Copies of this chain bind each other. A is one copy, B any other.
Amino acid sequence: MTITTPRIPAGSVEWLPKEQIAFQRFLETIRRVYERFGFLPVETPVFEIKDVLLTKEGGETEKQVYLVQSTGGRKEGHEPDLALRFDLTVPLARFVAQHEHQLNFPFRRYQMQKVYRGERPQRGREREFYQCDIDVIGKDGLAMGYDAELPAIIYSIFTEVGLPNFQIQINNRKLLKGILESFGIEGKEAQTAALHEVDRLDKIGADKVRERLVEEAGLSADIAARLMDMLSLPSSNTETLARLAAIANPPALLTEGLNELRAVYNGVQALGVPDSAVRLNLTTVRGLDYYTGTVYETLLLDDIALGSICSGGRYENLAGHYTKSKLPGVGISIGATRLFGQLLERGIIKAEQGCMADVLITQLDTSLLPDYFSMAAELRSHGLNVEVYVDEHKVGKQLKYADRAGVSLVLIMGSEEKAKGVVTLKHLKTAHQEEVPLPNLASHIRKHLEI
């Protein structure tokens, strides 16, 4: 038979079992927190009808899309009429519009599925990756308090994942535009140009941004300098709010944005998020058009270059392409595949402990297989994960298997032990072993696992 070299497409990721176990635990933490805040699960088909997915004409999005077509349809010369989702936001919009009358608003949904980008694969840019999104969608309106829940969710997730020294950046785009107005920078074009430069602060530094605000966005050197001073002065969150409140003759938009930001900040505090984990950061811009109020980014302070590991914000209308209803929302997204890979690389998440069986029952004597099986059944009924080594290999090989698999406890029983009603429990790492009476076995194993 001809051998085909087994390989996966460039830009896709698959983990070996130990990493996969760690990845699943990572996803489970995210899911558990989402559910603790009362979010409801949604899963949508991996492909959408092409014309439904690509309502926006052409543009950058379309270049990145994967088209899908059955071999039959292709042979018949049809155009592909399906496409893989490239994010979870468009499917959410389609879902909410389609099931609008069966949903309960404000609709709190979470979705943890893979998305697909047909772009050139490169490091950190997978073509297939998990996104874990939550959004709250209102009908006609949505109170600002919802914006306060999202940083509390981000905080809980990354605390439970064990991330050191992360910080949630919060800003408000109305406030940002109001500040620009207060410097006389008005009109969409001029504001977009200025924000485009501010958005690059993390990448190119304050000096470069100031320069480019003059050269590219057309500000005077004086305005550029004062704007940057305003936006990037490091100060505590309460000082930031006080400084903004002290601006004389503030434009209405500035006041509105400031009130929203203050409400979010107060809510975040009421939800128990420590002040050190949150920063009101006026240079957080987060894209240019989609978000209309609160915006979030999350940074690892020891590794700013990683960029934001969880971002999102408030938008005015989710599903204008699919329904006439006005559906404002606020949401965040975690790019779980990429983030997990980075945390693994940095040793922040470790995969070595990845092991499924709590205990492995070795096969010392083939004729005792029924005894091993019923011992396994008994232990499983106590909630333990139990594996039986069924192949008739030498015990040394079986122990090596257990060691490679990362199983720390093995059980050994020959006819002598059976006659005595005991089993030998061996701790692989310490090589400590002891005889345990069968009736005590489950509780004994549990005790060892807890150490």
Contacts and interface: CB of A to CB of B under 8 A. Distances in A.
Interface in A31-63: 35-49, 51-52, 55, 62-63
A385 B370 CA distance: 44
Stoichiometry, as copies per complex, reads 2
Contacts of A201: none
Interface of A: 1-9, 12-17, 20-21, 24, 35-49, 51-52, 55, 62-74, 80, 82, 84, 93-95, 97-99, 102-106, 108-109, 114, 116, 118-119, 128, 138, 141-143, 145-146, 148-149, 152, 156, 266-267, 269-272, 319-324, 356-357, 360, 369-371, 373-374, 376-378, 380-381, 383-388, 390-392, 401, 404-405
Nearest to A21: B41
Contacts of A269: 370
16 contacts: A3-B322, A4-B55, A6-B93, A7-B98, A8-B94, A9-B45, A12-B45, A17-B103, A37-B386, A38-B387, A66-B70, A104-B404, A106-B390, A106-B391, A148-B373, A271-B376
Contact of A109 (B17, B62, B73, B138): B17
A390 B146 contact: yes
B67 A70 contact: yes
Given A70-B64, A385-B36, A386-B36, A391 B142 contact: yes
Contacts of A106: 390-391
B270 A82 contact: no
Nearest to A79: B74
Nearest to A71: B65
A20 to B, nearest CB: 5
A270 B370 contact: yes
A3 to B, nearest CB: 7
B82 A71 contact: no
Contacts of A388: 145, 149
